[in-house]
Amino acid sequence: MSHFTKVATKINDLVALKKALDQLGWKYTHNEQGVTVRGYRGQTVTAEMSIDMGKYDIGVVKTEEGTYELVADWWGVETTKGLKEEEVAKEINSKYAYQRVVAAVEEQGYTIDTNAVQADGTIKLGVSKWG
């Protein structure tokens, strides 16, 4: 019986995901041909990216729709990292969304002047454009 379960996401940009993981300080391995994701009692699955969570990993797997889902032995991740599935997904999605916004702002020729995290966790960016 497999202990791996999937979490759907709206992630579709691996460059932004890598920047988000760097921002979180989480190590990862990426290979389009596949990397091994470690689970309970030596069980493994193959994913495009593997996020190292200690003894266990979180896999990033591309779906038929072109988005990515997170695949892991969430019990193992929680017992080794102290992070629940929902917390991991929230952290990744939050940092990913930030990286997507930053990329879109810069793509349109704007510069980020200020970056402040509000009390409720939202991020407020101040941008400008010269020209």
Residue 2 has pLDDT above 80, yes or no: no
Q: What is the pLDDT of residue 129?
A: 82
pLDDT value for 11: 96
Taking the C-alpha atoms of residue 28 and residue 21, their distance in angstroms, rounded to an integer, is 8
Pair of tokens at residue 88: 């991991």
Rounded CA-CA distance 25/27 in Å is 7
Residue 1 pLDDT > 60, yes or no? no
Stretch 42-48: mean pLDDT: 95
Residues 73-111 have pLDDT tens digits of: 999 999 999 999 999 999 999 999 999 999 999 899 888
